[in-house]
Each structure stands twice: as structure tokens, then as C-alpha cells.
């Protein structure tokens, strides 16, 4: 059994140096950030693409991410990563459409757009509701997930109470998030990304060398699991198609059905389809449209193609090194494979760097969610409905107070949260039917506030109803119910998150389309103000009569750009994956497609932007 060991003084020196750096960044930018809300929440809209894009990548890498990847690989197999790989297709809309549109809109938060696009009390209600929902309920679940994951990692890597180190990190992240606002977030994100990438690549190289290289790893894996299990599940990038013996019910519970729903429905239906809160915050902070597009493209390349493979290598090595997870790490389950490999193979110095990479990932996610949540509560609730005429320094001061309150409440939520993965699925389902409205509100004049309210309300009502069915079925079976602890059973199928999508999304679309045509469109004057501001293109004929565009509509050429983006990012993602696992002919073909996609993107999009 591998036990956690005391750290060498070199490791502690690296950790202390990183903490000192984080605090110094907060102090350095404190005066600049305190001047106004645009500086505090958007860094004055002055950031270059490489800073913005790298900050996006760092934020989406939390302490739990390598553990979740390890759980995927050791469980269903590499293909399970389609749970998030599918989102690239929606993210590419963010690259070619929404990065430019959000930069044109020049809003402080994405909720502010609601009262530009829509009018009256429905728009005001929607703005306040979404600000509260995402800054409090959604944010607390995300931060609870991250805090719990970091506590679990610390319990494996350090000889100290698992909460002690976590609260230290929380305190440090809170200090520099309060002092420097978004400036501190993006600057520390740059360093955090570099540390995290170096640490994960170093661990992958050391782990692969430990088992004798890739050929030897694949041989040991086949001996351990059997060649069929390895080829059809663990190392498969796409799950196998069920044979003809499968009946309909069995098919819809198969891995391939999950994959199909991921790639056909999930990517365009969720609440982050037009960017998602903290990604939109970064789009808005870029210097101009070109920097916003380049930042989002770099984010997607690094997020999907570059960052994941070192984690997958370590996860596969952990199967060979630890076929059975030691009982002392039963709390983590198969996720423990990643930190167990770290403890077994890393010596002084490298272990400190890996631990700092986890701390950095943890802190980058925490400070982002604190700053983003505070921006919602300040701009969309406090300033909009309570104190509209205060000074900018007043709003920054209240923003700092709200940041502290958010952190304390999130910490208590984390302490009480048990089934965090089920809670995450619940929150995802609650916003699963709104994606199409978020896309079309930019490109179709007929969408109104009631469309968006109906889509969100339908998702929430159906999700809560399914949870009540799960509660009823659990009680009827004489078992003890726990919140998010059981899945409902309908038509003989145990509903997982992808099954729920197949219920929520069609119902939401039918509901919001019906309500759209049963209610009046937004006033023409309101729609003209919105269109003149962002000039998106699309279906705006009643509004754009005799209108002269001063910038190119983003919808022009979008199909070619979107396909080129898929070729580029998926080409590099699976080209690198095939290269790593010695499938060289596939790797050459896929990387060739990636270069063709890259050329098309440069020729059709980037080169035409100033």
C-alpha cells in the first residue's frame, strides 16, 4: 500500500514561493483594480488574446479535473471524455460568433444584455433571476465541487488534516481576488497554466518511463485486462456500436447511445452555448474583436487538444501500477489513481511542482468564480435595482464585501455537500433546454423575453419533477432517500443525465416556440437599438430595412468556419491521441485535417479582422 509521505524542504520552498507570488500579484494590482468596476471585473477591456485565452484554460482546470479524467479512463474508458469533448462544437460558435458579438455589446456582465435585447418587467425579472441563480446556486455547487476535490487530493499527498491546507488556499485566493479583482485573476492564471502544464507533462513522462514506455504499457494492460477489454473499452476513443442482439431498451442504456446524445444534442442545448458566464467575462475583457476571437480559439485548442493527454497517460499507467485502489483511499475511489502515481514516482522538487499545480488549478477556479459571481450581484442586482447612482469606488468596495460573503457561504456549502457529482448533473439539467434560445436571440428578431423565461422554467420544472419521481420510487422501495442520490426509472430505463436531455430539450423547445408566437415581439425601437449595437446578421428583415452595416455581420461564412474549426481542434485532439498510443497512420491523417482546418480559419476569418 502506498501511503502519503512528508514533503521535502525543497517542495515546501516551492509551495511557499508560489503563495508569495500570488499575494504579491494581488498587492501590485490593487490600486489599479479599485479605480472602477470595468477595471475590477474586466481589466479595463485591455487584455491581449494570449492572456485572455490562457486565463480561460486555467480557469477550466480545477483540482478535480485530472481526478475526473482518471475516473473516466479507469471506468468506462477514454471515450467517456465525450461528456465534455462534445462541447467543442458549441464552443466553436463561441469562437466565430459570440466572442465578437460579446465584445461589440460592451456589457459588464452577460445578464446586462437582457435589458438591451428585451424590454420591460420580463427583461428586468430575467436579469435579476439569472444573476442570482448563477452567482449563488450554480456558483456554490461549482465551488463546493472544487473545494471537496482539493480536500481529497490533499488527503493523499500531504501528512496533514485535509481541510487545513484547503482553507489556507481558500484564504490566499480570497485575498488576491479581493485586492486585485480580475487583474489578479488573469495574471495568476498565466503562471498557473504554465505550472500546471509543466507538472502534468513531467508526471506523464516519468510515469510512462516507469512502466517501460508505451509499448510495454499496452502489453501490461492487455495482460492485466485482456486484449478485448483494452481495445474495445479502455483505449477506445469512440464506444463500440451495439450488435443486432440489442433491443431498444438495452440500446438506450448502452455507451454508444450516450455518445450519440452527447454529439447530437448536448453541445447546443445547455446554458453555456453562447459562451457561458466566466468565458463571456473574458471575451468582454479582450482589446477588440480580433483578440476576442483569437483568445477563444487558443482556449479551445489548449482545452481540448493539448491539456488532456498527459492526464490520460497517467490514468492508464495507474491501472497497471494500482489495479486495485488501496482501502485507505476508498473515499476517493478509482480517482485516487492519479495522486497515487504522483506519490509513488515523484521525488523532491517535482512533487512540490505537482502540488503547486494542483493548488494553482484550485485557486484559479475559486478566484474566477468569486470575481464573476460578485460581478453579477453588483452589476445586475445591487446597482440595477438598489443603488443605481453610487460612485464606481462604492461599487468596487461592495463587490469586495460580496466576494468575502460568497466565499464563506460556498465554504459552508462544501462542508455539507456529499453527492457533488449528482448535484452537478442536477444543475446541468436545470439549464439543459435553454441553449437554442441563447443562440437565436442574437439572430432572430422574433425571440422575446418570454421565450427565454419559458425555456429556463421548463428545464427547471422537468428536472425537479424527475427528482420527485426518484424520491417517490426510492420511498416506495423502502429505501432511504438522499438528495440527488437516486436516478428515476421511466419506461424501464434508469435515467442518466443524457436520458434527461432527451426529455427536457424537446419539451423546452416546444414550450418556448409556442410561447414566442403567443406573445408579442419586443418593441421595434428596442430591437433596433440592439441590432445597431452588435450587427449580428441573421433573420432581422423587419428591423434592418434600409440599415447600413458599419461592421461585417458575424453570421457571414459561419458554416465553413465552424467545419474548419471542427477539423482543426478535433484533428489535433485525436491526432495527438493516436500518436501517443502508436496509431501512426490515423495520427498523420487527423493532424493533416487539423492543418487544413487551421489554414481555412486563418484565410476565412482571422486574416480579415483588424
Give the burial class of 477: count Cβ atoms within 10 A of its Cβ; 0-12 exposed, 13-18 middle, 19 or more buried.
exposed
User: Would you give the DSSP letter of residue 113?
Assistant: G
- Give the length of the chain: 610
Cα 383 to the center of its chain, rounded Å:
28
83: which residues sit within 8 A by CB, 6+ positions away?
Answer: 72, 262
How far apart, in whole angstroms, are the C-alpha atoms of residue 134 and residue 174? 19
Does the pLDDT of residue 2 top 50, yes or no?
no
Locate all alpha helices (DSSP H) within 88-161, ordered by sequence: 88-93, 99-105, 114-117, 120-132, 139-157
Per-residue pLDDT, 354? 82
What digits encode the pLDDT tens for the residues 402-442? 988 888 888 777 766 554 556 667 777 888 889 999 999 99
How far apart, in whole angstroms, are the C-alpha atoms of residue 521 and residue 560? 32
User: Would you give the DSSP letter of residue 87?
Assistant: T
- What b/e string do you get for 97-122 counting C-beta neighbours within 10 Å, with b at 16 or more? bbbbbbbbbebbbbbbbbbbbbbeeb
When mean pLDDT is compared across 247-251, 306-310, 582-586, the lowest value belongs to 247-251
pLDDT, mean over the chain: 85
Give the burial class of 8: count Cβ atoms within 10 A of its Cβ; 0-12 exposed, 13-18 middle, 19 or more buried.
middle
Partnered with residue 490 across adjacent β-strands are: 493
Does the pLDDT of residue 75 top 80, yes or no?
yes
How far apart, in whole angstroms, are the C-alpha atoms of residue 36 and residue 394? 9
Locate all alpha helices (DSSP H) within 286-335, ordered by sequence: 289-300, 308-321
516: which residues sit within 8 A by CB, 6+ positions away?
Answer: 446, 447, 448, 450, 451, 454
Residue 384 neighbours by CB distance under 10 Å: 17
Per-residue pLDDT, 3? 46
549 vs 330: which has the higher pLDDT: 549
User: Would you give the DSSP letter of residue 158?
Assistant: -
Does the pLDDT of residue 321 top 80, yes or no?
yes
Per-residue pLDDT, 483? 65
pTM of the model: 0.88
Which pLDDT band, with edges at 50, 70 and 90, does 95 fall under?
Answer: very high
User: Could you tell me the three cell numbers for 59?
Assistant: 480557469
Per-residue pLDDT, 162? 63
156 vs 90: which has the higher pLDDT: 90
What digits encode the pLDDT tens for the residues 257-294? 888 988 999 899 988 888 877 888 888 888 998 999 99
Q: Could you state, in order of their start, the residue ranges of all structural domains in the chain?
A: 557-610
Partnered with residue 494 across adjacent β-strands are: 489
Amino acid at each position: 500500500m502506498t501511503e502519503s509521505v512528508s514533503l521535502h524542504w525543497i517542495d515546501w520552498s516551492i509551495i511557499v514561493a508560489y503563495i508569495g507570488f500570488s499575494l504579491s500579484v494581488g498587492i501590485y494590482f490593487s490600486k489599479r483594480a479599485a479605480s472602477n468596476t470595468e477595471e475590477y471585473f474586466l481589466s479595463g477591456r485591455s487584455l491581449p488574446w494570449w492572456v485572455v485565452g490562457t486565463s480561460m484554460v486555467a480557469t477550466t482546470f480545477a483540482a478535480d479535473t485530472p481526478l475526473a479524467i482518471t475516473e473516466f479512463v479507469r471506468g468506462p474508458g477514454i471515450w467517456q471524455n465525450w461528456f465534455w469533448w462534445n462541447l467543442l462544437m458549441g464552443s466553436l460558435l463561441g469562437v466565430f460568433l459570440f466572442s465578437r458579438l460579446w465584445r461589440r455589446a460592451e456589457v459588464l456582465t452577460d445578464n446586462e444584455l437582457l435589458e438591451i435585447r428585451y424590454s420591460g418587467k420580463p427583461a428586468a425579472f430575467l436579469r435579476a433571476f439569472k444573476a442570482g441563480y448563477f452567482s449563488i446556486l450554480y456558483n456554490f455547487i461549482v465551488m463546493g465541487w472544487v473545494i471537496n476535490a482539493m480536500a481529497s487530493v490533499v488527503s493523499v499527498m500531504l501528512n496533514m488534516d485535509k481541510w487545513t491546507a484547503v482553507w489556507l488556499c481558500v484564504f490566499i485566493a480570497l485575498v488576491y481576488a479581493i485586492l486585485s479583482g480580475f487583474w489578479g485573476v488573469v495574471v495568476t492564471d498565466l503562471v498557473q497554466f504554465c505550472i500546471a502544464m509543466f507538472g502534468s507533462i513531467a508526471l506523464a513522462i516519468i510515469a510512462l518511463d516507469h512502466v517501460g514506455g508505451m509499448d510495454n504499457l499496452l502489453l501490461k494492460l492487455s495482460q492485466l485486462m485482456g486484449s478485448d477489454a483494452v481495445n474495445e473499452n479502455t483505449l477506445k476513443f469512440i464506444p463500440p456500436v451495439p450488435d443486432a442482439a440489442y433491443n431498444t431498451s438495452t440500446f438506450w442504456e448502452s455507451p454508444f447511445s450516450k455518445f450519440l446524445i452527447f454529439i447530437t444534442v448536448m453541445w447546443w442545448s445547455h446554458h453555456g452555448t453562447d459562451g457561458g458566464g466566466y468565458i463571456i467575462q473574458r471575451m468582454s475583457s479582450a482589446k477588440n474583436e480580433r483578440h476576442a476571437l483569437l483568445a477563444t480559439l487558443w482556449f479551445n485548442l489548449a482545452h481540448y487538444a493539448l491539456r488532456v493527454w498527459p492526464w490520460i497517460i497517467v490514468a492508464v499507467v495507474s491501472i497497471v501500477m494500482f489495479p486495485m485502489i488501496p482501502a485507505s483511499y476508498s473515499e476517493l475511489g478509482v480517482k485516487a489513481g492519479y495522486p497515487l502515481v504522483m506519490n509513488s514516482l515523484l521525488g523532491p522538487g517535482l512533487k512540490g511542482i505537482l502540488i503547486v499545480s494542483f493548488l494553482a488549478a484550485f485557486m484559479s477556479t475559486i478566484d474566477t468564480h468569486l470575481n464573476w459571481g460578485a460581478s453579477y450581484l453588483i452589476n445586475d442586482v445591487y446597482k440595477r435595482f438598489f443603488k443605481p447612482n453610487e460612485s464606481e469606488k462604492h461599487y468596487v468596495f461592495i463587490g469586495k464585501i460580496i466576494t468575502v460573503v460568497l466565499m464563506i457561504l460556498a465554504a459552508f456549502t462544501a462542508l455539507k455537500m456529499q453527492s457533488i457529482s449528482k448535484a452537478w448533473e442536477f444543475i446541468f439539467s436545470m439549464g439543459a433546454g435553454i441553449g437554442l434560445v441563447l443562440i437565436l436571440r442574437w439572430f432572430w428578431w422574433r425571440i422575446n423575453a418570454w421565450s427565454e423565461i419559458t425555456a429556463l422554467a421548463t428545464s427547471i420544472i422537468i428536472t425537479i419533477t424527475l427528482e420527485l419521481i426518484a424520491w417517490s420510487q426510492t420511498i416506495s422501495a423502502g429505501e432511504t432517500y438522499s438528495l440527488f442520490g437516486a436516478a428515476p426509472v421511466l419506461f424501464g430505463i434508469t435515467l442518466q443525465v443524457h436520458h434527461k436531455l432527451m426529455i427536457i430539450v424537446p419539451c423546452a423547445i416546444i414550450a418556448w416556440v409556442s410561447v414566442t408566437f403567443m406573445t408579442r415581439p419586443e418593441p421595434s425601437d428596442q430591437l433596433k437599438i440592439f441590432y445597431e449595437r452588435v450587427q449580428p446578421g441573421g433573420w432581422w428583415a423587419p428591423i434592418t430595412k434600409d440599415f447600413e452595416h458599419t461592421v461585417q455581420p458575424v453570421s457571414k461564412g459561419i458554416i465553413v468556419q465552424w467545419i474548419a474549426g471542427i477539423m482543426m481542434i478535433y484533428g489535433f485532439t485525436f491526432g495527438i491521441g493516436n500518436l501517443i498510443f502508436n496509431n501512426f497512420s490515423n495520427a498523420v491523417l487527423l493532424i493533416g485535417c487539423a492543418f487544413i482546418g487551421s489554414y481555412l480559419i486563418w484565410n476565412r476569418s482571422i486574416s480579415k479582422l483588424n
